[in-house]
Structure 1
Amino acid sequence: MNQTVFGTEMVLLTFIAIIIQIITLFVHFGVIITKPYHRPNWRFLLLIALFIIYNICSGLFPDVNISWMSVFTQNILAFGSGIALASYYFFFLVKEIEITQRKFFNVKFLVTSLIFAFLLLYIITYLLYGDLRTSKSLFIIPPVIVALYFGFNTVMGIRLISSNDSVRNSYRNLNLAGKLGIVFMASMPVVVAIGDYQMINNGLVNVSFLLITLAFYILIFLQAKNKKDMNYKYMRKDILLGITEFGLTPRELEIAGFILKGESYKDLADKMNIASKTISKHASNIFKKTECCNREEFIRKFLSS
């Protein structure tokens, strides 16, 4: 599988991954057509595109045989696409699987640290001293430290919890797949620091793509299949019909049902295995969409009958 394609530096495994991801991209366009206003679908579309860009850039560059582009510029494209993918991947997980952000374990720190290291230790160092090897060696140190930190925190935060609810389990599967993807993604700078092993590096990164893609589509399938059962389980049919007019997402409908049952945010967070702040954020969105000022008004509005 170390065989390269079309006389470039790209190995066959990376090329196959690009083909799979392009096919997935077109398939996902079809999904978006059915739900054009569903934000998670658009976020996932961008994630697929970034995986494709990363595989193309890291697969083709650097290549000393490319005369029309300097190796320095090639590395900018390869490293830059990796930084963009890693940053957006974590952002996607924060938005879609509700990863709890903490001090130094958040999108802002990840993006800031990677961009700062890239600009200062790679680009500026090279422009000052003209030594590509030194600038590359200095640049890779902070990403390795950040990757190990994020990987360790992710492993410590993985919890394997199951229930009899297939849709809720699919959320947990997406959560688990995303977190395992972080671990594989964290291998990117570590492998680069060891040496130029495109097949290993891109292979591990693309495992995260397969994990998150399978989990995401399983979730979509189960939501579509079990939408009625899931919603009716938590509220009466007449109440459900009234709430659905306000355009709540499946997760918001689920939480709305629990709120109407009188569940506290803390108990609901424990039951759904997500942070209390996340429940509060969902509740705020629910109240805003249903034109209610607070929890009490929401309950009065839909239980008054």
Structure 2
Amino acid sequence: MFGTSIHWTTFFYLLVDTVIVLFTLYFSGKKPSSNFKRFLILGLLFVVYNATGGFLPTDNFPGPFILQYIITYSVAITLCVYIVYYLYKEYDIVVLKFNSSIRNLAIFATASYITLFLVPYLITGSLDSARILFTIPISVAAFVFLFIFYRRISNPSNPNAFILRRNRLSIISVGSIALLPICTVIGDYQWLTFTVMNLAFYAITTIEVDRYLYFIENNNRMYEVFALKKKQKVEAIERKIFYEDLTRREIEVALSILSDLSYRNIAKDLFIAESTVSKHASNIFKKTSVKNRREFLKRFRKKKK
């Protein structure tokens, strides 16, 4: 396509991902937050991944041929590690200890790439042999992580439609990472490899849209909680301010508390430690000017009568 090696499907994904990034830039400009920044970085990585993987290798590229593979593989490794980081940071989906999953994952992937791909390729000159040698340990590690991840989030104690959807989409994202090495060793089939990987981005994008709609659906409920006084309520209506002081995770915890779930059950549903739920709850109570959970529920229920 265009006299390059890029396949039309890869070019299509490149366009779609670019539109999503521009859309995110527009909204992040209206309401800056670390959440938008993380998603923006994820989107930009996918754009770079599609562009480098689609247009490279090419005969017109300056420098040694292997440099093109260093670029494409480096981008792919960075993207995969960042997807795991994103799931951990945004949704508190912790499968292994944070350092083990992020820092060591990056070290393991980079070391494997250098020792099992670059070195064998420089010695033998065989791209296929280097790919196979590199793919074996990476594939094993990826599928072990996918198995642990699946077991960790597949059985919530109190199923919630929103949480269940998020978990399933998260599994699709991690599954795409696990399948990438296999797609790579099969051959240069861009329509297959880039479809698998872009599914991860579209799954996470769907999660974010679904979470936004979930918050809108519960907007009135949360509004009643934070409009504790009539004066505050009037000011909130005039300014159209709705629970902006809470993080997105705190809103999820607050909604769970209002559903009379215990901290233990909230922790199981959101796949976080009970101490983390308690910490979020303390922040919620502080921001809503109440002393504890009992006062939080009492004041809210009083508003509902």
* Paired residues of 1:268 and 1:279 also in contact (CA < 8 A): yes
Q: Are residue 184 (structure 1) and residue 179 (structure 2) matched? A: no
Q: Are residue 90 (structure 1) and residue 88 (structure 2) matched? A: no
Which residue number in structure 1 is paired with residue 264 of structure 2?
A: 266
In 1, distance between residues paired with 2:243 and 2:149? 38
Spell out the pairing of 1:282-301 with structure 2 (5 A cutoff): 282-283=280-281, 285-286=283-284, 290=287, 298=292
Q: Give the residue type in structure 2 aligned to 1:274.
A: F
Select the structure with the greater relative contact order (CA < 8 A; seq sep ≥ 6).
2
Distance verdict in 2 for CA 1:163–1:83, change over 3 Å: same
Distance verdict in 2 for CA 1:301–1:208, change over 3 Å: same
Which residue number in structure 2 is paired with residue 50 of structure 1?
A: 45
In 1, distance between residues paired with 2:30 and 2:151? 38
Deviation string, structure 1 residues 37-74 (Cα, Å, up to 9, x no partner):
3x2211111110011111111112223x2352322110
In 1, distance between residues paired with 2:12 and 2:201? 13
**RMSD across aligned C-alpha pairs, in angstroms?**
3.6
Q: Which moved more, 1:13-22 or 1:260-269?
A: 260-269
Q: Are residue 80 (structure 1) and residue 74 (structure 2) matched? A: yes
Which residue number in structure 2 is paired with residue 35 of structure 1?
A: 31
TM-score when normalising by structure 2: 0.78
Spell out the pairing of 1:76-225 with structure 2 (5 A cutoff): 76-102=70-96, 106-126=101-121, 129=123, 131-133=125-127, 134-159=129-154, 169-225=161-217
In 2, distance between residues paired with 1:121 and 1:52? 27
Q: Give the residue type in structure 1 aligned to 2:245.
A: G
In 2, distance between residues paired with 1:7 and 1:15? 13
* Paired residues of 1:239 and 1:302 also in contact (CA < 8 A): no
Gaps of 5+ in 1: none
In 2, distance between residues paired with 1:137 and 1:198? 18
For residue 285 of structure 1, report the CA deviation from its aligned partner.
Answer: 5.0
Which residue number in structure 2 is paired with residue 226 of structure 1?
A: 218
Secondary structure, aligned partner of 2:206: helix
For residue 172 of structure 1, report the CA deviation from its aligned partner.
Answer: 3.6
Secondary structure, aligned partner of 1:238: coil
Distance verdict in 2 for CA 1:93–1:303, change over 3 Å: closer
* Paired residues of 1:162 and 1:169 also in contact (CA < 8 A): no
Question: Between Structure 1 and Structure 2, how many residues are aligned?
Answer: 287
* Paired residues of 1:246 and 1:290 also in contact (CA < 8 A): no
In 1, distance between residues paired with 2:163 and 2:28? 20
* Paired residues of 1:137 and 1:193 also in contact (CA < 8 A): yes
TM-score when normalising by structure 1: 0.78
Distance verdict in 2 for CA 1:247–1:173, change over 3 Å: same
For residue 119 of structure 1, report the CA deviation from its aligned partner.
Answer: 2.7
For residue 32 of structure 1, report the CA deviation from its aligned partner.
Answer: 0.9
Deviation string, structure 1 residues 79-112 (Cα, Å, up to 9, x no partner):
1111011000111011122212226972233222
For residue 302 of structure 1, report the CA deviation from its aligned partner.
Answer: 6.3
Q: Are residue 68 (structure 1) and residue 65 (structure 2) matched? A: no
Which residue number in structure 2 is paired with residue 238 of structure 1?
A: 228
In 2, distance between residues paired with 1:213 and 1:260? 27
Which residue number in structure 2 is paired with residue 249 of structure 1?
A: 247
| Percent of matched pairs sharing the same residue | 28
Which residue number in structure 2 is paired with residue 275 of structure 1?
A: 272
Gaps of 5+ in 2: 234-241, 300-305
For residue 19 of structure 1, report the CA deviation from its aligned partner.
Answer: 0.4
